[in-house]
Amino acid sequence: MRTFRYFLPLILILAFSLDFQAQCAMCRAVIESDVAANGQRVSEGINHGILYLMGFPYLLMFAVAAFLFRKQIKAAFSKA
């Protein structure tokens, strides 16, 4: 029963992964608007969208790492 609880999120992610593979709304909107305007700047818009979406996970990881580092520093000074 305990292993099932650990594998349940993995099973759910794999079950719904087909829906997750769809294009993001921002990329789709850029492509549709640029196709209407002869599609000359499609790649520039897609690249900006990818950079925008890619930045937030790194920002979140940095915030968690800073929080954990600060927690470790406080614990080290409280022991001394």
The residue ranges of DSSP E strands in 1-80, in sequence order, are: none
Residue holding tokens 């850029």?
Answer: 30
Q: What is the per-residue pLDDT for 31?
A: 72
pLDDT in tens, 26-78: 666 767 776 666 656 666 777 777 778 888 889 999 999 999 999 999 998 88
Give the model's confidence band at 20: pLDDT under 50 very low, under 70 low, under 90 confident, else very high. Answer: low
Q: What is the per-residue pLDDT for 11?
A: 80
How many angstroms separate the first and last alpha carbons of the chain? 43
- What is the C-alpha to C-alpha distance for residues 43 and 45, in angstroms, rounded to an integer? 5
